[in-house]
Amino acid sequence: MDAYLLARFLHILFAAIWLSQNATSGRLAKALARGGQNALSTRSVKLLSVMGALSGVMTLSTGMWLVSLTGDWETAPIAVQIGATLAIVLFLIGAWPVSRGWRKLLKATEQMEDGNLRSVLARNIAMWSHISMGIWGVILAAMVFRHL
């Protein structure tokens, strides 16, 4: 298989996993806040967190691989440069406010904290999830739909 096609396939695969992780994050947080520990296990949330982080790293890595196979950053289309920059912003959003929110929500759930606190934490995660989905829309418009 051609290296470019392999890199492109892996890039799309990891981006789809990362996108689905971002899309469901807010809903999962709200379900955990409403249902307590019965909604999701701590292990499940940690697994999803690792999967999201890994898919983000792999999406960025395979994107860099694609750019290196097609030239360099100076010759990459501006849409690719914008999309890559926004993908880094997405990764930082997931690494800082979303990850921190999940840690606080899990701790509040394990300690059986007040439902209002869990609800506030879940809404915060959902807000960042919505912001991430808006960024994903710009990334898709810049990098994918530019060919249409």
Residues of the chain with pLDDT > 90: what percent?
A: 72
pLDDT at 39 over 70: no
Q: Nearest-5° angle of CA 73, CA 77, CA 83?
A: 85
Local confidence band at 92 (pLDDT 50, 70, 90 cut-offs) = very high
Can you give the pTM of this predicted structure? 0.90
**Residue 41: HSE in the Cβ half-sphere, 13 Å Cα cutoff:** 3
Give yes or no for a contact between 86 and 139, defined as CB atoms under 8 angstroms apart: yes
pLDDT at 132 (0 to 100): 97
The larger pLDDT score, comparing residue 89 to residue 147, is at 89
Return d(Cα 18, Cα 11) in angstroms, integer: 10
Mean of per-residue pLDDT scores for the chain? 91
pLDDT tens digit sequence for 101-110: 999 998 998 8
